[in-house]
Amino acid sequence: MKNPIVNVSTNIITGFLGVGKTTAILNLINSKPEHERWAILINEAGKVGVDGSVISQTGVYTKQISGGCMCCASGLPMQAAITRLLRESRPDRLIIEPSGIGHPRKIQKTLCIPEYLGVLNLKANICLVDPRHLNDLRYRDSQMFLDQISVADILVANKIDLCSSENISDFENFSQQQNFSASQIKTTSFAALNAQWLDLPHNIRAHRVLSTMPDPVEYFTESKQFPDHYVFSEQMLCRWIKQLQITRVKAIVKTEKGVLLFNCVESTISISVVEQFTSNRIELISQRRLEHDIWSGLESQ
């Protein structure tokens, strides 16, 4: 008979669309103690997941919930996923990555239900922020953005290598003005997080609601899985992504240069090589309703 699962260190790593959550988790996995068993639970807004495919290639147990916020519908999809994940992987640490347009406060509430008492040991919640977005009202007025910050024990300004001194000053002022519950404010580049932060305490009583207003921005998602034999042109795909002019694009596809991961935030595209091919997947997130023929301009090479 297996021993009961107890005291699993649990962290939420949250942040808005494209801020670097998945990259942060990959970096943390690279510094994972060899004797520890980790499990990752990822929530994807689209129906076909991209981030889960990337993280699973590290060999760490990864479970993905796709197609909307995992904490909605009374949290049942999330509870079922966590229960199965714990049973199958028996981890020492559980890291949860909510969707960039999810509701981390609801996720945190689910983690505190009686069923997980003594099973999950809540540690620091980490929220990543891109300082370049702090003067954009689409972020500043977003209930989701404020919700992510409100649950943070550690608030991290990421991508400071791309920030101006004014951006950094904006972040410092924003942190002070909002009177965040976060006990620590950090800065970093390339989503490099100190693995020791994961063991810092979680202070649930300190977290407060920063806004109760309904979110003024609505997001729409579309995703598609293409046949495995498709081989895309890298240049063609970049042109197609740029002409979309939408908030977020993620794609893991087979190209003439091998399997590539495309990440696009506000028309800025980054491309990286992926060692293993799973399937051709593309996910779109937009603040406007996407047309039914959105995929028509995308053809295999």
Between 56 and 47, name the one with better pLDDT. 56
Classify residue 3: in a domain, yes or no: no
Is the per-residue pLDDT at 135 higher than 80? Answer: yes
Report how far residue 25's alpha carbon sits from residue 61's, in angstroms, rounded to the nearest whole number: 13
**Last-in-domain residue among 192, 210, 228:** 210
Question: Is-contact 95 40, C-beta < 8 A?
Answer: yes
Long-range contact pairs involving 107-113 (C-beta distance under 8 Å, separation at least 24):
107/12, 107/70, 107/71, 107/78, 108/12, 108/151, 108/204, 108/207, 109/71, 109/75, 110/71, 110/75, 110/78, 110/79, 110/82, 111/10, 111/12, 112/204, 113/75, 113/79
Q: Are residues 199 and 274 in the same domain?
A: no
pLDDT confidence of residue 76: 62
Q: How much is the mean pLDDT over the chain?
A: 86
1: in domain = no
Q: Is residue 2 part of a domain?
A: no
Considering the domain architecture, whether residues 202 and 241 belong to the same structural domain is answered as no
Residue 80 domain flag: yes
Whether residue 20 is contained in a domain is answered as yes
User: Domain of 19?
Assistant: 8-210
Q: Percentage of the chain surpassing pLDDT 70? A: 89
Is 227 found in the same domain as 168? Answer: no
Least confident of 81-95, 101-115, 120-134, 223-237: 101-115
**115 shares a domain with 197:** yes
Instruction: Report pLDDT digits (tens) over 197-247.
Output: 999 999 865 555 544 455 556 788 888 899 999 999 999 999 999 988 888
pLDDT at 136: 83
Same domain membership, residue 202 and residue 226: no
99: in domain: yes
Residues 58-69 have a mean pLDDT of 82
Whether residue 289 is found in the same domain as residue 186 = no
**Tokens 């499990």 found at:** 39
Q: For residue 173, what pLDDT is reported?
A: 87
Domain count along the chain: 2
* Number of alpha carbons in the 13 Å side-chain half-sphere of residue 289: 2
CATH number of residue 200's parent domain: 3.40.50.300
Domain boundary among 210, 243, 261: 210
pLDDT band for 301, please (50, 70, 90 cuts). Answer: very low
Q: Pull the structure tokens for residue 299.
A: 């053809």
- Residue 155 sits in the same domain as residue 198: yes
